[in-house]
Structure 1
Amino acid sequence: MKGQEQAHCAVELAGEVVWLLADKAVYWPARRMLVVADIHFGKAAAFRALGVPVPHGTTTQNLLALDALLASYACEEIVFLGDFLHARAAHAAATVAAMLAWRARHPRLRLTLVRGNHDAHAGDPAAALRIAMADEPHTVGGFSFCHHPETPASGYVLAGHVHPVFHLRADRGGMRLPCFLLGPSRAILPSFGAFTGGHAVRPGIGERVYVTADAAIFPLPAHC
């Protein structure tokens, strides 16, 4: 576990203590589970296939980010909250080879993917990745793992899809920071992917915002 005090915030959801990580994921200590939303493997490749010049190396960046989490937190399972693959271009040989090499480094790790809207178009990941596939809601204990935040579910919903960011305003300009949006019955996770963009959100009644910046996470005052 990281020594930095601001690397995570412990919160209670559905009667369980979970950690909101500065690395844009959730850790459920009781289950040794990481929860990751919207990693979008192959998005850059899909853009390049359309002739859009975008950076290379985002798949490697995403995999290294997962490695860093696994090195920091005792983990037996990762649950992906949809949009694991961005498009059919994510099945390109180089992308699949990189993911298979990563899987070979973590052979005992359980992987579960709750299908999202992009997964429906991209198709399921390669069988050799040994990812258990699930449709939303995928309920474990008091949590229902979903891609879409509005999915009807029996448990407290952990979802992605929105790619939430919060605009911190200042006298001159401001910053758009990835954030977690926590409400009475659901939490929306920031996008984990290295090339995914974000949608600005504002907390509603009973909702809390935790923003991530510079490897730290902190709650925003209710009046922000």
Structure 2
Amino acid sequence: MTITSHGEELILDKERALYLPKHQLLAISDLHLGKSAHFRQAGVQVPSTIAQSDLHRLSLLIEKYKPETLLINGDMFHHGLNADIDDFAVWQKQYQNLHLLLVKGNHDRLTSADYAAMHIEIHEPSFCLGPFCFIHDAPQNTKEELYPISGHIHPGVTIVGKAKQRLKFPCFYFGNEYAVLPAFSLFTGLYNIYPKTKERIFAVTPGNVLEV
């Protein structure tokens, strides 16, 4: 789905990604690489294929939009170094010309040397581009004249059908003061968003993105 926000065209992709055509920038939030491996280390039986599945979805997005820049808007890595992050290092070799930016989130705890070894450019607390300022947990520490785009809360929306069935979906939230991207990883929960007047919610369904 294509929308206009603050004078710029934005593409909301059903794979929980945001593309800015003017800047050839693909943005996602809350990738949480390493989360499944971290749970397995703690004795919780979580499939080992979660990280690979998320990276495959990301590959399809890169092939679709061919961005110059990939921006991860916080919580790229869930914890410390582990097998999932090794998978990322192998995956990344396919995209050596892709400019990779990370706006650090509360789970991004690797050392500066670790990020440098993976050729990840770090921005903290925000990365600003055009009328937007990407920050993991809005609306703080941004330039006042720019519109914050955040992540962190894993936004969701509940849709009630005609038969009163309730379906919950991840969503894009464009509020009066800031926006929130859906969590990219499929291994996350959802926090229900309740929009105010003139605020917009776009549900991410299995088939498409639709405004609700």
TM range (shorter): over 0.9
Q: How much does 1:212 deviate?
A: 1.0
Distance 2:115 2:207 in 1: 32
Q: Deviations over 1:107-141 (max 9, x none)?
A: 0000000000111x455554332010010222122
Distance 1:83 1:138 in 2: 15
> Which residue of structure 2 lines up, in the alignment, with residue 24 of structure 1?
16
* Structure 1: gaps of 5 or more residues: 1-8
2:148 to 131, 138, 157: 157
Q: Tell me if the contact between 1:136 and 1:151 (Cα under 8 Å) persists in the aligned partners.
A: no
Q: Residue type matched to 2:45 in 1?
A: P
Q: Deviations over 1:40-91 (max 9, x none)?
A: 0011111112221222211101110110001111211011110001112xx1
SS in 1 for 2:107: helix
| CA 139–188 in structure 1, closer or farther in 2 if over 3 Å, else same | same
SS in 1 for 2:186: coil
> Which residue of structure 1 lines up, in the alignment, with residue 165 of structure 2?
173
The 5 Å alignment of 1:56-205 reads 56-88=48-80, 91-92=81-82, 94-119=83-108, 121-123=109-111, 125-154=114-143, 155-170=146-161, 171-205=163-197
Q: How much does 1:197 deviate?
A: 1.4
Calculate the TM-score normalised by the size of structure 2.
0.92
> Which residue of structure 1 lines up, in the alignment, with residue 35 of structure 2?
43
RMSD over aligned CA atoms reads 1.5
Aligned residues: 208
Q: How much does 1:205 deviate?
A: 2.3
Q: Tell me if the contact between 2:73 and 2:135 (Cα under 8 Å) persists in the aligned partners.
A: yes
SS in 1 for 2:4: strand
Distance 1:100 1:54 in 2: 21
Which 10-residue stretch deviates more, 130-139 or 33-42? Answer: 130-139
* Structure 2: gaps of 5 or more residues: none
Q: How much does 1:201 deviate?
A: 1.2
SS in 2 for 1:117: coil
| CA 129–57 in structure 1, closer or farther in 2 if over 3 Å, else same | same
Distance 1:131 1:153 in 2: 22
Distance 1:218 1:68 in 2: 21
